[in-house]
Structure formats: structure tokens, C-alpha cells
């Protein structure tokens, strides 16, 4: 059998945006992924659904697989003819045993490629506002394992030359040996007043930084119960942190924000929150489902030329309607002279992706604004089609009838509570560790309350942020105090409102 191939891929230091383009391309075509501890879950979402996933993570005391076992897995899977991705944190060749794995592959005549990654040795300091070199302060830096066995009779680290011969020292995997590292550096001539920084989970939304001096860091770390994984930075460059720190200065840094949208829709809101330093916690409270009986939808599409207007009140409605339109062998031309209205920019964008631009979009993105805008047009006697969710409120239909038009509502999709929920996110809510709960529709409010059951009042421990006044009314009717309401009823508008509220304290 022809051998497969192994890609030794560096996933970067933790921030999923720091993987290389080539590394991501390897994941997208992988048949087997052998991955480490501390790998961001979003990487695994890029892997083909039928790929085999093998966890081989290691921590200080627990190894899912020993190194010789990992080497054997790579060899066996490649000999089976598979395209294997060995996904490693940071860079494979920076204290990552990637060299050992390549040696084993070479010994077995298995083709492989190395895809370098950004090492935490430079990324963690950078995210903490600490440049490892600086023209006026440090011209050299070294990366050292902090994981060396302290009981070894002879150290493989040249402490005498290292302590005073290099400007900036970065120790990886050294938290357990911090007292020994400090002792050796001072013993070999490093000034006890030298600044030192401990960067925990650098580049991630859980990043924490502790600064001290060599003489005080051990006690301060003990008092703070500072736990690994940690990058240890020693040198005068640490003093630049107060001036240069940027990551933790983001408007929402450290805020845990519950995202209650459907699994498919949650990614957009989560991405915007993460870009501002928040930690999005996804707890989908609704699931978009297809309509079991499509006869009514299909008939409305067949009869589309007989309508004067079609009004879409969500991107989901556009998606569902268009799917049936295509299935019935039709395209945008089928709309003919029918005018199209949308409730807001997200819905308009869903149409634009299909080559259609709406004739009408209100200034405010609410049903009331749609009615106000259409009242200025001559819609008396018009037939108006509304492809919507099964639980959409009736105010728009009733309002159009009062304006003298004939509104025909058709169920384009169903919204249901999800079959399974993220238990970790639910537990965080119960524990009171969520700072903000976001609601992007009334159904997300209703379903979250149902999901929590008798414990629903735990939601009061967090600030409540609603995408608009209608959702806010639903939240208040459910017994919640609404703290934030977006002026612009869009996902970016919701995020902006959260930013503004947090910046004002």
C-alpha cells in the first residue's frame, strides 16, 4: 500500500487567528488529526467531519499518550495511506518535540512537511505588551525550557553564560520550576531587581499577567495562586508593559458574554465580541429547522408573480425561501416586478448575496418602522407575502391589514429549542460567572427561560443586552431587568451598545 503523508503543523500560541494560512489548509484536507492539549476548539471545526480525531495532550502530570506512542500513531496512520496532520501548540520545533517526530517519520521512509507556527515565546510577551527586543533596551533574547528536571546532577542549561549574557530570557513550561529558575539566575549574576513577567494563557481571552522582580516573583506568584500554562519573561523589556499593553485594554476584555443565538448564527456575534476582548460563551437557545410540509411555501413561490410585495423580516427567511426557489427550478427572475422589502441590513445582505437589492428598508429595523414606511407608499389593495418563522409576532400582519393591504403569511422555517445545549455554558450561568447575556430575538429570551426552568432567576445575576425594543419588552415581561438596548437593531449595533455600556462603567 502506498504511504500517506504527515504534516507537522504549528497551531500557534492560543489565539486561533494566529495559525498560518498553510496550517489551516492542511486541517481542511486532513484525514487524521493528532492534536495536543491547549488547542483551540475552533481549529477542529475546520477539519472534515469524517476525519479521525486522536487526542494526545500532555500536562505536567498527565500524559494522554507518551511521546513514543505519539510517534507510533503518526507512523501507523501514514502507513495506512492517510493524510495526517500532527497539530501542535506554538511552533513544532520550539521546545515542541517536533524534531523527534520527524526523525521517526524519516526512519520509516514516510514523507512529511513541517508547517511552522508562531511560538508562544514571542507571542505571549507581545500580547502582554512586552517586546522581547528593543533597540534601546535589549538586542538579544533566548528561549529556554523551564521544564528541566531539577533533580538532574548536571543541568543542560548553561546558567552562568545565560544569566548575564542574554538581555531577555523567555522560559516556557517553567511555572513548576519558578523558584529554581530565579535561584539560578541570581546565583549566576542576574540582578535580583531585574523585572520579570508571568504571562498565563498568553494571546487568549483568559490571559493574565503578573509582574514583579526576581526577588519578589516567587512570593507574589504563590499569593496569586498563579497556575500554568505560563511564559516567563525576564529582562528590562518587562518595564515597557505599562506603556505598551494593548490586548487587555480592549473595551470588553475579560467580559464573559453569553451568546444565545442559534449555532449557525452565533459565530458572527461571537467573532465581534472576541475582537473586542470579550470571551463569548455560546449557549444556543434556538435551532432553525425546515418546515416538514413545504406545500404552502412552494405554492407561494409558484404564485409569486401575483403579489405586489414580498417582505423579508430575517436572513433566515431569505435562506429558507431561496432554497425552495432554487429547488423549484427558479431564480431571481421569478420575482419579476414584485417589490421587495426587508427589515434591516442583515436581511438585505442575505438578498444581495443572491443578486437582489430591496426596494425598501426602514431607517429603524423594527416592524413598526416597516409599517410607518409603507404607510407613505400606496399599498392599499396590495397583496403582500411574508415568509417568516412559525412563531413570528402578528403585529406586522395586523398593521398591514389596517393599511388596507392583504398580507399573506407563510411559514418559511421553524424555531425550536435545541436538542442539546452546551452544559459548560449553562453551568457558568448557574454559577453566576457570566457578565452579560445577549438576546438577538424574543425567541432567545423565551427559550433561555425555559431552558433554565426553576433556576431562571440566575439570569438576573448578569447584565441583559437586547438587540432592540421588541426583544427588550419580551425580556422585561419575563421578569428580567434590561440594562442595554441597541439603538441600531443589528448584531454590530448590539455589540456597540455593549461597548458603550461597559466603557461608561
| pLDDT tens per residue, range 119-138 | 999 999 999 999 999 999 99
Task: Report d(CA 461, CA 65) in Å as an integer.
Answer: 41
Selected residue with higher pLDDT from 65 and 103: 103
The per-residue pLDDT for range 428-459, each reduced to its tens digit, is 888 888 999 999 988 889 889 988 888 899 99
Q: Where are the domains of the chain?
A: 5-117, 122-249, 256-286+419-503, 289-416
Task: Report d(CA 207, CA 13) in Å as an integer.
Answer: 12
Task: Report d(CA 18, CA 247) in Å as an integer.
Answer: 14
DSSP state of 14: S
Residue 385 φ/ψ, nearest 5 degrees: -95, 135
Q: Can you read off the three cell numbers belonging to residue 369?
A: 418602522
Residue 146 CA: distances (Å) to CA of 101, 170, 220, 331:
21, 9, 19, 62
Place of cell 513548576: 176
Residues taking part in catalysis: 36, 58, 173
**Sheet with 168-172: strands ordered across:** 141-145, 168-172, 230-234, 195-200, 208-213
Judge whether 98 and 105 are in contact, CB under 8 Å.
Answer: no
Residue 260 φ/ψ, nearest 5 degrees: -105, 10
Q: Which CATH class is domain 122-249?
A: alpha beta
DSSP state of 376: T
DSSP state of 128: T
Task: Report d(CA 202, CA 209) in Å as an integer.
Answer: 8
User: Is residue 365 packed enough to be buried (19+ CB in 10 Å), middle (13-18) or exposed (0-12)?
Assistant: buried
Q: With H, G, I as helix, E, B as strand and everything else as coil, classify residue 157.
A: coil
Going by CATH, does the domain composed of 289-416 fall within 3.40.50.10110? no
Range in 188-192, 209-213, 249-253, 428-432 with the lowest mean pLDDT: 428-432
Q: Can you read off the three cell numbers belonging to residue 333?
A: 427572475
Q: Which CATH class is domain 5-117?
A: alpha beta
Q: At what angle do helices 178-187 and 217-224 cross, to 10 degrees?
A: 170
Which among 80, 70, 113 is positioned nearest to 3, based on CA atoms? 80
Judge whether 15 and 204 are in contact, CB under 8 Å.
Answer: yes
Is the model's pLDDT at 262 over the cut of 90? no
Q: What is the pTM of this model?
A: 0.74
Residue range 138-166: average pLDDT? Answer: 87
Place of cell 441600531: 488
Task: Report d(CA 450, CA 452) in Å as an integer.
Answer: 6
Residue range 336-356: average pLDDT? Answer: 93
The per-residue pLDDT for range 175-190, each reduced to its tens digit, is 999 999 999 999 999 9
Task: Report d(CA 210, CA 206) in Å as an integer.
Answer: 13
Task: Report d(CA 72, CA 104) in Å as an integer.
Answer: 8
Q: Write down the pLDDT at residue 325.
A: 96
**Domain 256-286+419-503 and domain 289-416 have a common topology:** yes
Q: Can you read off the three cell numbers belonging to residue 392?
A: 413570528
The CATH code of the domain at 256-286+419-503 is 3.40.50.10090
Amino acid at each position: 500500500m502506498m504511504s500517506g503523508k504527515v504534516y507537522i503543523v504549528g497551531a500557534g500560541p492560543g489565539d486561533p487567528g494566529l495559525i498560518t494560512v498553510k496550517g489551516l489548509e492542511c486541517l481542511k484536507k486532513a484525514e487524521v488529526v493528532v492534536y495536543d492539549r491547549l488547542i483551540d476548539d475552533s481549529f477542529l471545526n475546520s477539519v472534515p467531519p469524517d476525519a479521525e480525531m486522536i487526542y494526545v495532550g500532555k500536562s505536567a502530570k498527565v500524559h494522554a499518550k507518551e511521546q513514543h506512542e505519539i510517534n507510533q500513531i503518526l507512523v501507523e496512520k501514514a502507513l495506512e495511506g492517510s493524510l495526517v496532520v500532527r497539530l501542535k501548540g506554538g511552533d513544532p520545533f520550539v521546545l515542541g518535540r517536533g524534531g523527534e517526530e520527524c526523525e521517526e517519520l524519516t526512519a520509516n521512509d514516510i514523507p512529511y512537511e513541517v508547517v511552522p507556527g508562531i511560538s508562544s515565546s514571542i507571542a505571549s510577551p507581545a500580547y502582554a505588551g512586552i517586546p522581547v527586543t528593543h533597540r534601546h533596551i535589549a538586542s538579544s533574547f533566548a528561549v529556554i525550557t523551564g521544564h528541566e528536571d531539577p533533580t538532574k546532577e548536571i543541568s543542560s542549561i548553561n546558567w552562568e553564560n545565560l544569566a548575564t549574557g542574554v538581555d531577555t530570557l523567555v522560559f516556557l513550561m517553567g511555572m513548576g520550576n519558578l523558584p529554581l529558575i530565579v535561584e539560578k539566575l541570581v546565583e549566576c549574576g542576574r540582578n535580583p531587581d531585574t523585572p520579570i513577567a508571568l504571562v498565563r494563557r498568553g494571546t487568549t481571552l483568559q490571559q493574565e499577567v503578573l509582574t514583579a522582580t526576581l526577588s519578589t516573583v516567587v512570593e507574589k506568584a504563590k499569593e496569586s495562586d498563579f497556575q500554568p500554562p505560563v511564559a516567563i519573561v525576564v529582562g528590562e523589556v518587562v518595564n515597557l508593559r505599562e506603556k505598551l499593553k494593548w490586548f487587555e485594554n480592549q473595551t470588553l476584555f475579560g467580559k464573559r458574554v453569553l451568546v444565545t443565538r442559534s449555532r449557525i448564527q452565533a459565530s458572527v456575534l461571537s467573532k465581534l465580541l472576541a475582537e473586542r476582548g470579550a470571551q463569548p460563551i455560546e449557549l444556543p437557545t434556538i435551532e432553525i429547522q425546515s418546515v416538514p410540509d413545504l406545500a404552502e411555501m412552494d405554492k407561494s413561490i409558484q404564485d409569486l408573480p401575483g403579489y405586489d410585495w414580498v417582505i423579508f423580516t430575517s436572513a433566515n427567511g431569505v435562506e429558507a425561501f431561496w432554497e425552495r426557489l432554487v429547488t423549484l427550478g427558479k431564480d431571481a427572475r421569478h420575482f419579476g416586478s414584485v417589490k421587495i422589502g426587508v427589515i434591516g441590513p442583515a436581511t438585505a445582505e442575505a438578498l444581495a448575496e443572491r443578486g437582489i437589492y430591496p426596494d425598501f428598508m426602514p431607517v429603524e429595523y423594527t416592524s413598526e418602522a416597516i409599517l410607518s414606511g409603507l404607510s407613505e407608499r400606496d399599498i392599499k389593495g396590495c397583496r403582500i407575502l411574508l415568509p417568516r418563522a412559525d412563531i413570528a409576532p402578528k403585529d406586522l400582519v395586523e398593521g398591514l391589514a389596517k393599511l388596507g393591504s392583504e398580507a399573506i403569511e407563510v411559514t418559511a422555517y421553524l424555531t425550536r429549542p435545541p436538542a442539546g445545549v452546551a452544559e459548560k455554558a449553562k453551568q457558568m450561568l448557574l454559577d453566576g460567572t457570566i457578565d452579560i447575556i445577549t438576546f438577538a430575538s424574543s425567541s432567545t429570551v423565551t427559550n433561555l427561560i425555559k431552558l433554565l426552568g426553576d433556576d431562571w432567576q440566575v439570569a438576573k445575576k448578569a447584565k441583559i443586552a437586547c438587540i432592540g425594543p421588541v426583544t427588550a419588552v419580551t425580556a422585561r415581561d419575563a421578569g428580567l431587568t434590561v440594562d442595554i438596548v441597541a439603538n441600531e437593531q443589528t448584531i454590530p449595533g448590539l455589540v456597540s451598545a455593549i461597548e458603550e455600556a461597559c466603557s461608561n462603567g
